[in-house]
């Protein structure tokens, strides 16, 4: 059996009653396979002896003699204390609710003891210990024990017992999933040994080998699946002749470019040419377009859409928020309709009556380009001939959503866009054989946004700075972490945080009474939201007090001030996106990151805060006692204007597995491997997988039999599109 074939319910194990089964399913453990893949998060090394005196560095693991008893507390609340000693020192065991232990732990007897100890009330104490008769040579000792991630109602004891039973029953029949030559070459373990040793290793060395085996196997199959998908895409030949395309602009594209008041940047030109070559190529395009906030990716996607339409197909441009989708639709209408292109705008908000004709026009081919949100792949959306899918802000979409929209066409071209750069290792893993274009330049005349840090107590200085900008005819955003007004689900109490709704009120009544302020957040009705945005972009509204709804895409060149309050609460990519809302016109723009101090404000400033090329700590007397993480993040914002650099820094700061945009479930469907941490293994696995597929695409050769069998009987990653 392959591990994934062990679909018997976990409840079939002895000792897994209905209550345990319910609790297991709460931890997504339903089958025996799930149970065996419920990997430990840590291990307790109970092989290595640690005397009492060593308690500070690790749990104690030693043989002790009981030296006496004592009782603390009074009456029915009395608690037993047992004194023990070994050669290195003495300690006490506090037996909360376990008075009966006195009968077992009788003075003079020897026990093997395991537990975490702390120095308390002048003695070395533990209340979480395990013991057994020293003579017994016991079960739980002298071994390395797994420590599982627990959830509601589950205990280590229950999980250890169940996993042990499952291993005893099913372990011996587990079949290898890696070709034998790889196992031998890399000195890996067989599958059955690896699974057993990962739960109950006999030594730390064996644990390491088990880990290496399971990680490699997971990455190997990930890359086999990625490679197979790449082959499928190439097999969906659109253009058999596959003439070498020059990537030159098509007639419609040329007409659009002639109508623009500006020229493409060289980054845009190069990306557009790469896309044109792909779309003329032999097989469907799969390209990721990266470019910093404001680099002009939308226009590049419009050029691609024109090419799709010229080829007789339809294009779908999908954005994660209604606000952004509407903005794209308006731009598309303004720029492309004059060229005779028929644009539709489709969002979940358009009700049945208005929707039916839109859907009909999409299905009938009356629409050339449809712009919208998630509804573009809803069940009732059908396309006559969807030939290009554009996914804007792709990190906001999950893998499943991407495959749903792709399924609306017959291998359509795919263009994904993001301002959140993805490290190459991740791009390789998650996006398979995606090609990447990067726009590295910005439209001319943009001045880098000047970033300033300010302590909340110095807010007045920020206000007066903003006031000058407003007096000069500019506009401003104020962003808060909460909506407020009871909309955050926490009645009234904001934990000292400023909220958008109350601040909108305060800004308009007290701070900037001579200007119009509007409130914008996700709970506001879409039509109202749109009225507000329109008015803001026409200048009817001067100040927008908002939550991070304004984070993606919003484009109002006359807004020159971005004030983010409680900036320490926002992630780096969010801060970068927010800052990207300003500096979109010719005027100098400013970003104020206002941070609040915890009550025990200390004396340390933000180290290095004044170093940035364009940025400085506006109020150099600033002092803060932010958490180290918060400090480091804000400092990165001061020192960097480039989204790629910020993403790299964020990667360093947050570590693997935490990269922006990969948090969504289903995005990285890995159980044990981490493509950043295990980058070297990933590269090796990819090489192995691809060389197998290149030499034997149908996996017919005897030496690849195992791989073929795995794919046939227990396909990995079957529930995600890679």
Q: Binding string to ligand ADP for residues 197 to 226, with x set by CB under 6 A, is what?
A: ------------------------------
Q: What is the rounded distance in angstroms from the CA atom of residue 134 to the CA atom of residue 237?
A: 72
What single DSSP character describes residue 10?
A: G
Q: How far is the CB of 267 from ligand ADP (least distance, A)?
A: 9
What is the rounded distance in angstroms from the CA atom of residue 293 to the CA atom of residue 420?
Answer: 9
Q: Which is nearer to ligand ADP, 393 or 622 (CB)?
A: 393
CB under 5 to 8 A by kind: which of Mg ion, ligand ADP, none does 5 bind? none
125 makes contact, choosing from ligand ADP, Mg ion, none, with CB < 5 to 8 Å by partner type, with none
CA distance 145 to 122: 31
299 binds, options ligand ADP, Mg ion, none, Cβ within 5 to 8 A by partner type: ligand ADP
SS3 612: coil
Q: What is the DSSP letter of 95?
A: E
Q: Quick one: what does residue 669 bind among ligand ADP, Mg ion, none, with the CB cut-off 5 to 8 Å set by partner type?
A: none
Q: What CA dihedral angle connects 638, 643, 644 and 650, to 10 degrees?
A: 60
462 in helix, strand or coil? helix
* Interaction residues for ligand ADP, span 412-431 (CB under 6 A): 419
Nearest CB to ligand ADP, comparing residues 196 and 395: 395
Residue with the shortest CB distance to ligand ADP: 296
**φ, ψ at 51 (rounded to 5°):** -70, 170
* Closest to 322 in 3D by CA, of 481, 504, 525, 558: 525
Fill in the per-residue mask, 543 to 562: x = in contact with ligand ADP (CB under 6 A), - = not in contact: ------------x-------
Here's the x/- map for Mg ion, 535-554, by CB under 5 A: it reads as: ------------------x-
- 435 contact, one of Mg ion, ligand ADP, none, CB 5-8 Å limit per kind: none
Residue 3 or residue 275: which is nearer to ligand ADP going by CB? 275
Cβ neighbours of residue 442 closer than 8 Å, sequence gap 6 or more: 265, 292, 294, 295, 296
> Between the CA of residue 551 and those of 539, 575, 668, what are the distances in Å?
19, 8, 24
E strand or H helix at 486:
none
Q: Are 96 and 80 in contact (CB under 8 A)?
A: no
578-607 mask for ligand ADP (x: CB under 6 A)?
Answer: ------x-----------------------
Distance in Å, CB of 419 to ligand ADP, minimum? 6
CB of 330 to ligand ADP, least distance (A): 12
Instruction: Compose the 259-298 pattern: x for residues touching ligand ADP by CB under 6 A, - for all others.
Output: ---x-xx--x----------------------x-xxxxxx
Q: Which one, 295 or 641, has the nearer CB to ligand ADP?
A: 295
Q: Which does 584 bind (CB under 5 to 8 A by kind): ligand ADP, Mg ion, none?
A: ligand ADP
Using CA atoms of 336, 338, 342, 348 in order, give the dihedral in degrees to the nearest 10. 60
- Partner interacting with residue 294 (select from Mg ion, ligand ADP, none; CB below 5-8 Å by kind): ligand ADP
Q: Are 300 and 428 in contact (CB under 8 A)?
A: no
Choose from ligand ADP, Mg ion, none: what does 291 bind? Cβ within 5-8 Å by kind: ligand ADP
Q: Write each residue from 553 to 572 as x if it is in contact with Mg ion (CB under 5 A), else as -, in one continuous string.
A: x-------------------
> What sign for the dihedral angle of Cα 39, 43, 44, 46?
positive
Contacts with ligand ADP: how many residues (CB under 6 A)? 16
Binding-site partner at residue 36 among Mg ion, ligand ADP, none, CB < 5 to 8 Å by type: none
The residue (of 419 and 561) whose beta carbon lies closer to ligand ADP is 419
Dist CA 448 CA 657 (whole Å): 31
Distance from C-alpha of 526 to C-alpha of 533, rounded to nearest angstrom: 10
* Residue 45 CB-density burial (10 A; 0-12 exposed, 13-18 middle, 19+ buried): middle
**546 - beta bridge partners?**
479, 520
> Could you say which of ligand ADP, Mg ion, none residue 555 binds, taking C-beta under 5 to 8 angstroms by partner kind?
ligand ADP
> Nearest approach, Cβ of 547 to ligand ADP (angstroms)?
20
Please name the residue ranges forming H helices in 348-419: 352-364, 399-406
Q: Considering the rule CB under 6 A, would residue 443 count as an interface residue with ligand ADP?
A: yes
Residues that bind ligand ADP (CB under 6 A): 262, 264-265, 268, 291, 293-299, 419, 443, 555, 584
Residues that bind Mg ion (CB under 5 A): 553
């Amino acid at each position: 059996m392959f591990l994934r074939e062990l679909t018997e319910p976990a409840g079939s194990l002895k000792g897994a009653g209905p209550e345990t089964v319910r609790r297991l399913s709460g931890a997504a453990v339903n089958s025996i396979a799930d149970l065996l893949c419920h990997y430990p998060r840590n291990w307790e090394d109970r092989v290595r002896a640690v005397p009492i005196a060593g308690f500070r560095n690790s749990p104690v693991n030693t043989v002790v003699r009981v030296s006496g008893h004592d009782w603390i507390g009074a009456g029915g609340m009395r608690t037993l204390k047992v004194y023990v000693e070994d050669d290195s020192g003495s300690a006490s065991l506090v037996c909360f609710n376990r008075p009966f232990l006195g009968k077992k732990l009788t003075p003079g007897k020897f026990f093997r003891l395991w537990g975490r100890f702390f120095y308390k009330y002048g003695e070395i104490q533990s209340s979480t210990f395990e013991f057994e008769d020293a003579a017994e040579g016991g079960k739980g000792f002298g071994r390395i024990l797994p420590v599982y991630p627990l959830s509601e109602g589950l205990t280590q004891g229950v999980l250890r017992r169940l996993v042990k039973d499952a291993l005893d029953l099913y372990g011996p029949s587990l079949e290898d999933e890696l070709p034998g030559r790889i196992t031998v070459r890399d000195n890996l373990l067989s599958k059955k040994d690896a699974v057993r040793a990962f739960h109950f290793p006999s030594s730390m060395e064996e644990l390491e080998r088990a880990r290496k085996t399971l990680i490699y196997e997971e990455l190997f199959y990930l890359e086999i699946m990625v490679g197979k998908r790449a082959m499928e895409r190439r097999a969906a030949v659109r253009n058999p002749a596959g003439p070498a395309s020059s990537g030159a602009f098509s007639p419609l594209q040329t007409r659009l470019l002639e109508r623009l008041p500006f020229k493409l940047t060289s980054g845009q030109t190069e990306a557009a040419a790469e896309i044109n070559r792909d779309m003329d190529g032999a097989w469907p395009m799969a390209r990721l377009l990266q470019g910093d906030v404001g680099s002009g990716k939308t226009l590049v996607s419009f050029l691609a859409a024109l090419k799709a339409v010229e080829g007789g197909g339809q294009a779908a441009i999908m954005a994660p928020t209604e606000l952004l989708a509407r903005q794209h639709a308006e731009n598309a209408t303004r720029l492309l309709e004059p060229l005779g292109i028929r644009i539709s705008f489709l969002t979940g908000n358009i009700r049945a009556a208005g929707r039916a004709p839109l859907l009909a026009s999409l299905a009938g081919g009356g629409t050339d380009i449809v712009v919208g949100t998630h509804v573009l792949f809803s069940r009732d959306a059908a396309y006559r001939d969807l030939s290009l899918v554009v996914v804007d802000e792709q990190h906001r979409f999950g893998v499943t959503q991407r495959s749903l929209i792709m399924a609306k066409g017959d291998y359509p071209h795919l263009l994904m866009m993001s301002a959140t750069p993805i490290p190459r290792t991740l791009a390789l893993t998650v996006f398979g054989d995606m090609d990447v274009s990067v726009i590295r330049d910005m439209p001319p005349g943009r001045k880098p946004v000047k970033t300033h840090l300010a302590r909340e107590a110095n807010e007045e200085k920020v206000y007066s700075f903003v006031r000058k900008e407003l007096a000069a005819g500019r506009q401003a955003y104020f962003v808060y972490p909460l909506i407020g007004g009871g909309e955050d689900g926490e009645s009234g109490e904001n934990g000292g945080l400023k909220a958008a709704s109350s601040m909108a009120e305060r800004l308009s009544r007290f701070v900037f009474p001579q200007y119009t302020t509007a409130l914008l957040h996700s709970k506001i009705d879409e039509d109202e939201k749109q009225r507000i945005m329109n008015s803001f972009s026409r200048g009817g509204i001067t100040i927008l007090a908002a939550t991070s709804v304004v984070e993606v895409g919003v484009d109002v060149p006359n807004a020159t001030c971005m004030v983010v309050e409680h900036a320490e609460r926002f992630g780096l990519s969010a801060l970068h996106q927010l800052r990207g809302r300003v500096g979109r016109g010719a005027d100098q723009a400013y970003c104020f990151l206002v941070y609040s101090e915890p009550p025990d404000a200390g004396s340390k400033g933000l180290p290095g805060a004044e170093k940035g090329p364009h940025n400085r700590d506006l109020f150099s007397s600033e002092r803060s006692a932010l958490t180290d993480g918060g400090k480091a993040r804000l400092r990165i914002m001061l020192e960097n204007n480039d989204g790629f650099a910020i993403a790299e820094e964020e990667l360093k700061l947050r570590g693997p597995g935490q990269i922006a945009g990969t948090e969504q479930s289903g995005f990285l469907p890995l159980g044990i491997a981490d493509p950043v941490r295990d980058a070297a293994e990933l590269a090796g696995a990819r090489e192995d997988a691809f060389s197998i597929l290149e030499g034997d695409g149908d996996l017919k050769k005897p030496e690849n039999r195992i791989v073929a069998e795995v794919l046939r009987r227990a396909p990995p990653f079957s529930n995600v599109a890679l």
